[in-house]
Structure 1
Amino acid sequence: MALNLDLKPVGISQDTTRRSLQLVGGLALYGGSMAMLTRSGLGLDPWDVLHEGLMKITGLSFGTVTAIASVLVLLLWIPLRQRPGIGTAANVVVISLTVDLVRLFLPDQDVLGWQIFNLVAGVVLNGLAAAIYVGARLGPGPRDGLMTGLAARTGKSIRLVRTLIEITVLAAGWLLGGTVGVGTVLYALAIGPLTQAFLPYVVWRERAHA
């Protein structure tokens, strides 16, 4: 059954504390799940392939590279006339800090069983985290805004625009030395259905007033 969920950002006047906690919690979980994927050694999602490639050539931490890339993507919002929200800024800060923090305590895995565990758990938690922070409806992340902005300006479908963006960043990241593997394929196949499955349970809905 198709889900009819309104995910447009809304104001912060209602349930501000609850939604803010949901946003930060979702972003922190997202950063943690990213760290698990990077430590699995079995492949990353397209954007993180790019981040890892940039990390290898710059010597900066994974979180720092992620934050810098996010800011650069936000600059592309200007000609697209996209409007950031609280969630947009929080996305840059919370994810970059959390991914580095978790990576400090989670070493690279060289035992296949642990690699698979980190990969599968990372993908599932990433889907849950995406649903949680998107469900707070406090503004899109930089990459989501780029996707929706390009779709609106070009008149092309979200699916096509997202596919083209991810192919581009995946190719660039691979050329820079980012890890592409079975995890990349698993992520591509699973992340959409997982996020969609979790969303109905976490999306914030405006309460009707008597």
Structure 2
Amino acid sequence: MNKAWATFLRPARAVPTTAWSSPSAKTFRPSVRTFVILQIGLWIFGTGEAFFIAAGLGVSPWTVLAQGVSLQTDWSVGLSTFAVSVAVLLLWWPLRERPGLGTLSNAVVISIAIDVMTPLLSGFDSVWIRSSWIVIGVLLIGLGSGLYLTANLGPGPRDGLMTGLQRRSGKPIGWVRAAIEISVLAVGWLLGGSVGIGTVVFALGVGHSVAVFLSLMRAFSRQPVR
């Protein structure tokens, strides 16, 4: 890889402002382009989660929790994901976080995408195919996150919980995120959610995938990616 490509693909350290980014995260009347890109990004993100679920080799901590809720209630994983998102949003109230259009869309669109896409991807017995599903899932979640985050229409329910708790506690954001993820994973596992190699791959790979796809957005940036 030459130096130009290496620079272009260097993982981003911040979310860039793109041609489609909303000037305000609080608006409920974004441009059509911003709204469409937000929805596409969230659908791609949900599809990435569906690849993990269909692989049957372990899923992300929050999906482990949704699977656990699904097993205890007979709800679909998508509906359980939505219920978890609503529960998390209720925790925003004492933290004085304010949801945006992206927050509400996150709760709805990702849940629908999971329920629609998971049956289409399930039923493969080959371990190679199922392993490839995990890799594809990491890439899709990275791409979906890049589109969703650059739309700048408000954080997802889980991200808002993280920032709210960090502001209230004063602890480093990394510690707060780790505490949330570990707690959610433990509760989900106790409820019967799927923990496996896919969970490890998600933990190790998704953050870097998101950072790389954010760096690719610099082609559409209004300002340099730091």
Q: Taking structure 1 as the reference length, what is the TM-score of the superposition?
A: 0.91
* Equivalent of 1:111 in 123, 126, 129: 126
Q: Which amino acid aligns with 1:179?
A: S
Q: Does 1:142 align with 2:164?
A: no
What amino acid is aligned across from residue 23 of structure 1 in structure 2?
L
Q: Which residue of 2 aligns with 1:23?
A: 38
Residue pair 2:143, 2:213 contacting (<8 A) in 1 also = yes
**For structure 2, which runs of at least 5 residues remain unmatched after alignment?**
1-9
The percentage of aligned residue pairs carrying the same residue is: 44
1:132 maps to 147
- Corresponding residue for residue 64 of structure 2: 49
Map residues 1-210 of structure 1 onto 2, 5 A cutoff. 3-5=13-15, 10-11=23-24, 12=27, 16-202=31-217
Corresponding residue SS for 1:120: helix
Query: Would you say the 8 A contact 1:9–1:139 is kept in 2?
Result: no
Letter in 2 for 1:104: P
What amino acid is the match of 1:160?
Answer: W
Note the residue ranges of structure 1 that are not aligned, 5 or more in a row.
none
Q: Aligned-pair distance for 1:54?
A: 1.0
Q: Following the alignment from structure 1 to structure 2, what is the Cα–Cα distance between the partners of residues 150 and 179? A: 27
> What's the offset of the Cα at 1:106?
2.1
- 1:198 Cα offset (Å): 0.9
Change (3 A) 1:164 1:106: same
- Once the two structures are TM-superposed, the CA of residue 167 in structure 1 deviates from its matched residue by 0.3
Measured after TM superposition, the shift of residue 202 of structure 1 is 3.0
How many Å separate the matches in 1 of 2:162 and 2:128? 35
Give, in angstroms, the shift of residue 4 of structure 1.
4.5
- Equivalenced residues, count: 207
Q: Are the equivalent residues in 2 in contact too, given 1:147–1:161 (CA < 8 A)?
A: yes
| Distance change >3 Å, CA 9–CA 68, structure 1 → 2 | farther
Does the CA-based 8 Å contact 1:64-1:96 persist in structure 2? yes
Q: TM-score normalised to the size of structure 2? A: 0.85
Deviation at 1:123, TM superposition (A): 1.2
